[in-house]
Amino acid sequence: MKAVILAGGLGTRLSEETSIRPKPMVEIGGKPILWHIMKTYSAHGINDFIICCGYKGYIIKEYFANYFLHMSDVTFDMRFNQMNVHSGYAEPWRVTLVDTGDNTMTGGRLKRISEHLGNETFCFTYGDGVSNINITELVKFHKEQKTLGTLTAVQPAGRFGAISLGYEQTKITSFREKPEGDGAWINGGYFVLEPEVINLIADDSTVWEQEPLEKLADMEQLSAFKHDGFWQPMDTLRDKNYLEGLWTSTQAPWKVW
């Protein structure tokens, strides 16, 4: 099974990092968040990736071009212009990098890589969030539902401290630093899709989260896999620092490998 990862957006809300690199290449624990996402899929036996590149996509290409070198011990003999690799470990990945345009929308990027999909069920997600989702169970659930698409539904924790305060009340009676959220389920990415969904995408301007998903829902061809475990997007510098803190404290819930 192939996994398609969106990696072409500008990441404007993380401009402190994305002015020099694409958002999926922002590092957590010295590795791009894209690497963390791929490791999650790989832990469930999915090692064939299609990366939808856009903004500064050449940086992603250069990273994978030199991946084996990054992971190895080497000796450079300048006298004879030789490089000897002593030991190294590279992931069992097959990575296809496709330039899907700087300004293409999420649906348009998926349509642009359709020729690489074949006629098989595939995974699809965003390149800027990590989770400890059980990919194996997600794929199994999708096949049982027999729908064209399955999205992972998550309930994100609240970002700010929540207080309990009545209409005319001036004294706080309850405070929670990290509230559970309002109970609403939202789209957490980590889709499993049938190739027919490509037919619902018109062109580069199509936003995946609008017409295609709305049509799938109207057709009763969209299932929801409820994930109540860890899920965290990296939209801002605060998010990046939060994930970095979890990683350095060896308490990163998404590290399932």
**DSSP letter string, 43-76:** TTT--EEEEEE-TTHHHHHHHHHTHHHHTEEEEE
> What is the rounded average pLDDT of the residues 10-36?
84
Does the pLDDT of residue 158 top 70, yes or no? no
Q: What is the pLDDT of residue 48?
A: 98
Query: pTM for the whole thing?
Result: 0.87
Q: What is the pLDDT of residue 52?
A: 97
Residue with token string 């899709």: 193
Q: Is-contact 72 86, C-beta < 8 A? A: yes
Does the pLDDT of residue 162 top 60, yes or no? no
Integer Rg of the chain from CA: 20
Helix boundaries (H) for the chain = 15-18, 33-42, 57-65, 67-70, 106-112, 135-145, 211-218, 237-248
Q: What are 175's strand-pairing partners?
A: 163
Does the pLDDT of residue 167 top 80, yes or no? no
List CB contacts of 204: < 8 A, sequence separation 6 or more. 101, 103, 104, 105, 108, 111, 112
Q: What is the pLDDT of residue 165?
A: 57
Q: What are 251's strand-pairing partners?
A: none
Q: How confident is the model at residue 29 (pLDDT cuts 50, 70, 90)?
A: very high
Specify the length of the chain in residues: 257
pLDDT, the chain, mean = 89
> What is the rounded average pLDDT of the residues 83-106?
89
Q: What is the pLDDT of residue 177?
A: 57
Give the best-scoring range by mean pLDDT among 11-20, 48-57, 65-74: 48-57
> What is the rounded average pLDDT of the residues 87-109?
91
> What is the rounded average pLDDT of the residues 198-222?
94
Higher pLDDT, residue 171 or 32: 32
Among 15-24, 71-80, 165-174, the minimum mean pLDDT is found in 165-174
Q: What is the pLDDT of residue 14?
A: 73
Higher pLDDT, residue 31 or 88: 31
Q: How confident is the model at residue 16 (pLDDT cuts 50, 70, 90)?
A: low
Q: How confident is the model at residue 183 (pLDDT cuts 50, 70, 90)?
A: low
List CB contacts of 66: < 8 A, sequence separation 6 or more. none
Does the pLDDT of residue 75 top 80, yes or no? yes
The DSSP call for residue 87 is E
Angle, alpha carbons 15-17-19 (nearest 5°)? 60
Compute how many other C-beta atoms are within 10 angstroms of the C-beta atom of residue 102: 13
Q: What is the pLDDT of residue 166?
A: 61
User: What's the CA gap between 18 and 14, in Å, rounded?
Assistant: 6
Q: How confident is the model at residue 204 (pLDDT cuts 50, 70, 90)?
A: very high
